[in-house]
Structure 1
Amino acid sequence: MKKMLVISCLLTLTGFFAQAQSKQHIIDSFVQALVKHQDFSGNVLVIDKGNIIYEHSFGYADLADHSPNRPTITFPIASISKLFTATAILQLHEQGRLKITDAVAKYLPQFPYADVTIRHLLSHTSGLPPYNAFFDKYHEKDPQRVFTNRDFLPGVVANKQPLVYKPGDNGNYDNINFLVLALIIEKLSGLSYESYIQKNILTPAGMTETVFFPLPKQFNTVAIQNFSFPHVYLHLYDSLPVKSNSIAYVKAYWHSYGFNGFGDYISTMRDLWKFDQALYRNVLLKQQTLSAAFVPVKLNNGENNRDEFGLGWEIEKDSSMGKLVYHSGAAMGLSANIMRNITTQQTVIVFDNMHFNAHETAGKIMMLLNNRHVDMPRRSIARMYGIALRNEGAVAAKALLENLQKDTINYYLSEDEMNSLGYDFMGNSNPYQLPEQHLYKQAIETLKLNVSLFPDSWNAYDSYGEALLADGQKEEAIKMYQRSIELNPKNDNAQKVLRQLLQ
């Protein structure tokens, strides 16, 4: 009987490890395909019922010196930091020092919006405008001034702005909500925000590799040991990204806006796992409190808020695999995500220091972990075409596109991406405030090709007409706008431009 029990246990363990190895292989194939198609650079950690199923690193922490990402490397978690802020507020709630339904003004008497509650802040349903609305005019007068949490309430009172909507009527994700929560934490605890998080969250969870390192320092420090630097592709036609902290506008912005509470921490994969474990063990919060945090907050009309936010956590709408709760983090040139299947005790942690798709990647890995089908990644033909057009010319670029179109297993062609590429060449959008660059020849070539590829698209003709007009080709532009209207008589923009051109 004992022998039979031992054999049974061994068979069970063997089956578990075989299944884990199979899942590991499937996940690895998916991530390797992302890397191959230049859609991932960073770290992945996958946990199933307390066991590591997959842990790997890819790409470079610093492209300039080719230092690699490693499983132990520290990276910015950006808005995942909001989970620490939310946890702190929920701890104060458990201690009876505040109620989630309380008005913010009860704890911050200067706060000039009487109807905004703590629940509104946690669920991003407050209607508060972004902090720029209060401080940009001061920043324009004194670009060297640094704004911190101490400046927030005086600045809001002195330059009060209207709410975007009545609190609870709608939802929009904004950092200002967690800046205000950080002020409440400091007011009730008597500690600085950093000290409270360290004492009541990081230390109890054993998170020794998670450090308070605010965004102004992250984007204004050149040399950081064991750190994965964010990198950003400035254009769709760029073959390589640049360090985000090399962009003057990014550095200047984060030099000025030094607010805390929403994006201040750097961490490692294993340390975020410790946070995950501490939540499962109820080290930081009671289970009853967590369960309440994982329910989408209702709007005034009784519907769930748009982004399905609970109390600090976002809840995935699709519950077919179990209840998925998560939080993403993103900044200039990086994205991160921690996704937890609290039904099956599975966790996926993803960090990418060159792309903005960590949430999408984490979601697909969670699907693979639960034996769901996921299409293998394919590479964007539009991006490859743009790089070739910029560096090798129109003939070579078109030949490349036509060749890649034949391989639908590894490549895909998107009308929208070709359209975006054309606008990128035009140089109308300049979010990083770089020196203006208008590559009209390449823009026209791209959008002309897009029309031939998608001849029934009114939008393709509209965009092509805009590029022709920008290049001074009025007569040709008129033809394109006319064709766009033929395909879509409701294209009001084209009709307006056409009237002006024909006058």
Structure 2
Amino acid sequence: MKKFNLILATTISLFFFSCKDKSANKESKVQSTTNLPNYGNVDLDKIFTPSEVTLSNKDYIVNYIDQYYKKVWDAGDLSGGLLVAKGDQILYENYRGFAREGKQMPINKNTALHVASVSKTMTAMAMLKLVEAGKIQLSDPITQYFPGFPYPEVTVQSLLSQRSGLPKYEYFITKITPAPAELSKPFITNQDVLNMIIQYKPQLARPTNTGFMYCNTNFALLALLIEKVTKTSFPQAMQEMVFTPLKMKDSYIFQEKDIPTAAQSFYTVGNKLYPLDRLDLIYGDKNVYTTPRDLLNFSKAMYSKDFLKPELMDMVFQPYSNEKAGMNNYGLGFRMKIFDNGEKLTYHNGWWHGTNSVFAHLLKSKVTIIAIGNRYSGRVYTALALSSLFEDFPAQRDKILSVMNDSQDTLKSGNESFGE
């Protein structure tokens, strides 16, 4: 395997993957910059060998997933999409519901939906591409990039691993008195969040690097760091660094201009639209709109040694919060469950307004499980339990058996801070 090429792209032809059907890629006009690292030679069509995608019990597994879909998605009248793949082979895929109010825009394989906190996995990979290119270091303090940032011990890595101790922006901004001017705007930005941190210096929720604390502020700041280092807006940087090269042709970062056309989310009952609020344009922690097929391309790329240096990719899936023993942990932009038998389930879930999402990237079996719902339901999270069909995850096996046996407690549950 030839070494990853870190030469920075100077033209579109050097930077982007070639695309036979350029008319199908609405982002083909995005201008490249010299500040973004080249992705090298990840060939999504040649990552897996036939032996890696063979399942001796494929028919059983496909039938099982189909029964799960009928019991949970159809019977629960969920709206969204489910995809399960082994390597690059899609084992199961199904869609139902509508993306916009008035039963407009039937959801299909090309309908981009908000994946909420699953966005963090892609923000993390973009940051790690900059680390790999030598543009930034994991040990760099945030004060190096944002003068006046009041927490000198917070580093790039402590943001990625959710160990910064920073307060959650969605809460601390509401406690500032008198209310800052930023809160009078219809939508606040990532820069507004940073400005309020610098000006009002809210108390840390816990001392930096003393343990895990899930916090959206971490990834909102990482998006700003990506903009600072690349001198490119985060939406454009993600197009050039992630979406376009990985042929995620229907994916984008939600912005105000997308409000009239983007998929919407709904309350559980009555197809009532979940309204936007002032936090809805903050990105990095959320606001990737994508499809299960595009997200599968992202997952496939992460299995390739050409996507990111193996030593960096290994860091993504290491647990960094071991002060308190338990099953749940966090890597760099990924959650993980570490079971008593030593097996590790790597994934991220998402929740925002009426959106629920699951993205499981299984390291041993090279299985990807993606579930995106746009009408709020904790049942969407039960898709993670399908992982037990492929690897030895005892707790997930018990959960999927409960789901298939119509345990209403299991079907109604699903939080576990899953949205975060």
Shorter-chain TM-score bucket reads 0.7 to 0.9
Of the candidates 284, 290, 311, which is equivalent to residue 288 of structure 1?
A: 311
**Alpha-carbon separation, structure 2, partners of 1:79 and 1:413:** 24
Corresponding position of 2:228: 187
Larger Rg: 1
Corresponding position of 1:432: none
Normalised to the residue count of structure 2, the TM-score between the two structures is 0.75
State the structure with bigger RCO (CA 8 A, min sep 6), 1 or 2: 2
Return closer, same or farther for 1:264/1:141 CA change in 2, 3 Å cut-off: closer
- After TM superposition, give the deviation of residue 321 of structure 1 in Å: 9.1
Of the candidates 188, 194, 200, which is equivalent to residue 153 of structure 1?
A: 194
Q: Quick one: which amino acid aligns to residue 96 of structure 1?
A: G
Judge conservation of contact 1:105–1:113 (CA < 8 Å) in 2.
yes
1:66-100 residue CA offsets vs partner (Å, 9 max, x unmatched): 75432232211112211221112211211223221
**Alpha-carbon separation, structure 1, partners of 2:379 and 2:309:** 29
Corresponding position of 1:334: 355
Judge conservation of contact 2:96–2:107 (CA < 8 Å) in 1.
yes
Of the candidates 273, 276, 283, which is equivalent to residue 243 of structure 1?
A: 273
Return closer, same or farther for 1:280/1:192 CA change in 2, 3 Å cut-off: same
Q: Quick one: which amino acid aligns to residue 41 of structure 1?
A: S
- After TM superposition, give the deviation of residue 30 of structure 1 in Å: 1.1
**Alpha-carbon separation, structure 1, partners of 2:159 and 2:321:** 13
Judge conservation of contact 2:327–2:339 (CA < 8 Å) in 1.
no
1:337-379 residue CA offsets vs partner (Å, 9 max, x unmatched): 110111111111111122343663222222234595632537x
Judge conservation of contact 1:134–1:160 (CA < 8 Å) in 2.
no
**Alpha-carbon separation, structure 2, partners of 1:195 and 1:213:** 11
Of the candidates 61, 72, 80, which is equivalent to residue 118 of structure 2?
A: 80
1:406-439 residue CA offsets vs partner (Å, 9 max, x unmatched): xxx657479x99xxxxxxxxxxxxxxxxxxxxxx
Asked whether 1:29 is paired with 2:67, we answer: yes
Corresponding position of 1:386: none
Q: Quick one: which amino acid aligns to residue 43 of structure 1?
A: G
Of the candidates 328, 346, 350, which is equivalent to residue 325 of structure 1?
A: 346
Normalised to the residue count of structure 1, the TM-score between the two structures is 0.63
Asked whether 1:130 is paired with 2:168, we answer: yes
Q: Quick one: which amino acid aligns to residue 147 of structure 1?
A: I
Corresponding position of 2:148: 110
Corresponding position of 2:138: 100
**Alpha-carbon separation, structure 2, partners of 1:334 and 1:305:** 28
Asked whether 1:270 is paired with 2:293, we answer: yes
Return closer, same or farther for 1:232/1:321 CA change in 2, 3 Å cut-off: farther
Corresponding position of 1:3: none
Of the candidates 249, 267, 278, which is equivalent to residue 253 of structure 1?
A: 278
Taking only aligned residues, the RMSD between alpha carbons, in angstroms, comes to 3.1
**Alpha-carbon separation, structure 2, partners of 1:85 and 1:151:** 19
Corresponding position of 2:14: none
**Alpha-carbon separation, structure 2, partners of 1:73 and 1:158:** 40
Q: Quick one: which amino acid aligns to residue 229 of structure 1?
A: Q
Structure 2 spans left out of the alignment, 5+ residues? 1-49, 414-420
Structure 1 spans left out of the alignment, 5+ residues? 1-11, 246-250, 379-408, 418-503
- After TM superposition, give the deviation of residue 194 of structure 1 in Å: 1.7
Q: Quick one: which amino acid aligns to residue 232 of structure 1?
A: Y
Corresponding position of 1:19: 57
**Alpha-carbon separation, structure 2, partners of 1:99 and 1:53:** 39
Return closer, same or farther for 1:58/1:154 CA change in 2, 3 Å cut-off: closer
Of the candidates 403, 406, 419, which is equivalent to residue 377 of structure 1?
A: 403
Return closer, same or farther for 1:30/1:142 CA change in 2, 3 Å cut-off: closer
Return closer, same or farther for 1:335/1:283 CA change in 2, 3 Å cut-off: farther
Asked whether 1:163 is paired with 2:188, we answer: no
**Alpha-carbon separation, structure 2, partners of 1:190 and 1:21:** 50
What is the aligned residue count?
354
Return closer, same or farther for 1:358/1:125 CA change in 2, 3 Å cut-off: farther
Return closer, same or farther for 1:72/1:321 CA change in 2, 3 Å cut-off: farther
**Alpha-carbon separation, structure 2, partners of 1:210 and 1:267:** 4
**Alpha-carbon separation, structure 1, partners of 2:60 and 2:193:** 52
1:210-239 residue CA offsets vs partner (Å, 9 max, x unmatched): 11214x667xx3x42xx6431113xxxx5x
Identity of aligned residues (%): 26
Which aligned pairs between 1:430-449 and structure 2 lie closer than 5 A? none
Return closer, same or farther for 1:78/1:319 CA change in 2, 3 Å cut-off: farther
Asked whether 1:229 is paired with 2:264, we answer: yes
